[in-house]
Every structure is written in structure tokens, then in C-alpha cells.
Amino acid sequence: IPDGQEATVSNLAERLVLKHHSVVELIDRMETHGYVRRSRSREDRRSVLVSLLPRGAKVLDQVAQHRVGELRASGAALAKAIAALLKNNHALHGRKISMVRSRKGLAKRRG
């Protein structure tokens, strides 16, 4: 969650691109295992805040380290793939423009 935002169920659902009820189910399971704790917001009692417990922070750190290792290992290949996609998209966009221009030219010749 970005700085300045609270870890509410709604914010988590938005960031994870999941339905609210799906995030509630995930939080239920994580709370059962001692990874997070729920509490009511002091500002808005309708909002449920989710706090990471030490056990959850430890697991999160392990997952993050693993993901960073994966990104380092595949970073160069990922950068090349993104560059190729951008190049292909640019070439495709250029073709669309030239096709539109040629169609406009045909319309003028006919008219």
C-alpha cells in the first residue's frame, strides 16, 4: 500500500485487482495462521484495517527476496522482450498510419 493510504480491505482489493469478498477470504486465512490482524479504523468505524504481524512480515520478506532473485535472473530477458514489444507496436502503428493515408489518397482520386 502506498504511503498515505491505510491497508483497508477495499484498498487491498483494489491493489490486488480482486473482488472485496475474495480479499476478505484471504485475510480470514492469513489471520487464522497468525500473519495479519484486523482492526477497526479510528477515523471510520466501517473500515477494517489490516496489519501485518511479525510472522507475516517474516514470510513477506522471504517471498520478496525470492521474487527479487527471480527478477535479477530474468531481468535482461524481460527488458529485451519489452523492447521487442515496443518496437513491434511502433512498427504496427506506423503501418496503420500509412494504410489510412493511402486510403485517403484513393478516396481523393475517386472523388
Sign of the four-CA dihedral 12, 59, 61, 40: positive
Number of other CB atoms surrounding residue 50 within 10 Å: 22
Residues 90 and 63 in one domain: yes
Tell me the pLDDT tens digit for each residue of 23-61.
999 999 999 999 999 998 888 888 889 999 999 999 998
Looking at residue 82, its pLDDT comes to: 84
The number of distinct structural domains making up the chain is 2
Residues 48 and 58 in one domain: no
* CATH number of domain containing 47: 1.10.10.10
| DSSP-derived secondary structure for the chain | --TT---BHHHHHHHHT--HHHHHHHHHHHHHTTSEEEEE-SS-TTPEEEEE-HHHHHHHHHHHHHHHHHHHHHHHHHHHHHHHHHHHHHHHHHHHHHHHHHHHHHHHHH-
Tell me the pLDDT tens digit for each residue of 53-101.
999 999 998 988 888 888 778 878 888 888 888 887 766 655 555 555 5
Residue 109 has pLDDT above 70, yes or no: no
Looking at residue 55, its pLDDT comes to: 95
